[in-house]
């Protein structure tokens, strides 16, 4: 067991208007807060300290410690109330701007409450990770069925649907030889693609004869038309001293029940989307 620990601290302050609520309402709020805090007890150690009279900017310090960052993140936000509020608006499309652990909680909430809007989230919620989080003892395959039909974006090869692609086969070999994850995931593919881009940057700095910090930065900002075998067709990295957004094209995809990704239309360019949003009719 590692000696490493992760700490999360919240300094909370009461809204003065809360004290004007009825005693019944305040007791209900306290019970809800204690229940939310209690749900974390099995995952981490936590202590509460009153700071009334000690800190003007807060009334309660909630201190939590766990052996993994995942355990801390999983308890950093309780989303049931937010999801209930969203459900009450009866949206046709639900956009989740959340990290995977929270996204998985949102999926569980929707399933438990028989709520089925069209869900959209970004590429930071890959199929393999969500499948593992939601599948539990049933494995990623069980998780894939729970996220089927949801829409996301992607720019790298899919470890499930592109398993036979030569670049993916090579990725699996590299991970196996050097102690990478088994099985591989979208995150390991992402990691290798970043490593390859770093090699491209260092190689450029070396060819320029300047391996200083400034030289490496100049090499990175000079990358144009770079692509990787792990990228989807049409994906390129173009950087400059005024543009540090490496990936600006994304492929919309829909998750299938078998874990593969269905391509939806053409690549979408972020700059084009922003330009369309900023445009005003004459």
Interior/surface letters 43-68, b for 16+ CB within 10 angstroms, e for the rest = bbebeeeeeeeeeeebebbbebebbe
Predicted local distance difference test score (pLDDT) of residue 115: 95
Helices 186-207 & 213-220 angle (0-180, nearest 10) = 110
Quick one: CA torsion of 206, 209, 213, 216, rounded to 10 degrees?
Answer: -40
For the chain, 282 residues long, give each residue's pLDDT as a single digit of tens. Answer: 456 677 877 788 888 888 888 999 888 888 877 777 776 666 678 888 888 888 788 888 888 787 766 666 655 556 787 888 899 999 999 999 988 888 998 999 999 999 999 999 999 999 999 999 999 888 999 999 999 999 999 999 999 999 999 999 999 999 999 999 889 999 999 999 999 999 999 999 999 999 999 999 999 999 999 999 999 999 999 999 999 999 999 999 999 999 999 999 999 998 777 666 665 444
In a domain, 180, yes or no: no
The domain total for the chain is: 1
Q: How far apart are CA 167 and CA 248, in angstroms?
A: 22
In a domain, 50, yes or no: yes
Name the burial class of residue 4, with classes exposed (0-12), middle (13-18) and buried (19+) by CB atoms within 10 angstroms of its CB.
Answer: exposed
Q: How many CB atoms lie within 10 A of CB 127?
A: 28
Instruction: At 54, list the tokens.
Output: 């000690």
In a domain, 13, yes or no: yes
Q: Please say whether the beta carbons of 132 and 103 come within 8 A.
A: no
Predicted local distance difference test score (pLDDT) of residue 278: 61
- Domain membership of residue 37 as a residue range: 6-75
In a domain, 14, yes or no: yes
Q: How far apart are CA 81 and CA 130, in angstroms?
A: 22
In a domain, 30, yes or no: yes
Helices (H), 116-207: 127-135, 139-147, 166-177, 186-207
Q: Please say whether the beta carbons of 76 and 63 come within 8 A.
A: no
Three-state DSSP at 66 gives strand
In a domain, 138, yes or no: no
pTM check: above 0.85: no
Q: How far apart are CA 265 and CA 263, in angstroms?
A: 6
Q: How many CB atoms lie within 10 A of CB 228?
A: 20
For residue 183, say if its preceding peptide bond is cis, omega within 30 degrees of 0: yes
Q: Give the residue among 8, 124, 130 at the shortest CA–CA distance from 76.
A: 8
Three-state DSSP at 78 gives coil
In a domain, 18, yes or no: yes
Question: Cα angle at 245 between 239 and 166, to 5 degrees?
Answer: 80
In a domain, 114, yes or no: no
Predicted local distance difference test score (pLDDT) of residue 281: 46
Question: What single-letter DSSP state applies at residue 19?
Answer: G
Pairing of strands 45-50, 60-66: antiparallel
Helices (H), 51-165: 69-75, 80-88, 100-112, 127-135, 139-147
């Amino acid at each position: 067991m590692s000696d490493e620990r992760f700490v999360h601290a919240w300094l909370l302050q009461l809204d003065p208007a809360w004290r004007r609520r009825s005693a019944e309402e305040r007791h209900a709020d306290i019970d809800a807060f204690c229940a939310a805090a209690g749900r974390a007890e099995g995952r981490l150690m936590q202590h509460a300290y009153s700071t009334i009279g000690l800190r003007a900017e807060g009334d309660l310090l909630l201190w939590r410690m766990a052996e993994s960052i995942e355990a801390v993140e999983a308890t950093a936000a309780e989303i049931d109330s937010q999801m209930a509020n969203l459900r009450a608006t009866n949206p046709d499309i639900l956009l989740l701007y959340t990290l995977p652990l929270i996204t998985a909680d949102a999926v569980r909430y929707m399933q438990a409450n028989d709520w089925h809007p069209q869900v959209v989230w970004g590429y930071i919620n890959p199929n393999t990770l969500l499948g593992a989080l939601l599948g539990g003892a049933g494995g990623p395959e069980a998780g894939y069925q729970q996220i089927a039909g949801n829409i996301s974006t992607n720019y790298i090869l899919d470890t499930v649907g592109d398993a036979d692609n030569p670049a993916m086969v090579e990725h699996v070999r590299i991970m196996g030889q050097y102690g990478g994850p088994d099985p591989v995931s979208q995150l390991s593919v992402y990691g290798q693609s970043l490593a390859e881009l770093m090699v491209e940057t260092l190689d450029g700095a070396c060819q320029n004869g300047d391996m200083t910090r400034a030289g490496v930065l100049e090499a990175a900002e000079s990358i144009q038309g770079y692509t990787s075998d792990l990228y989807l067709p049409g994906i390129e990295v173009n950087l400059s001293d005024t543009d540090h957004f490496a990936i600006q094209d994304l492929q919309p995809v829909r998750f299938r029940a078998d874990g593969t990704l269905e391509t939806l239309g053409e690549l979408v360019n972020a700059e084009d989307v922003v330009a369309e949003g900023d445009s005003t009719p004459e």
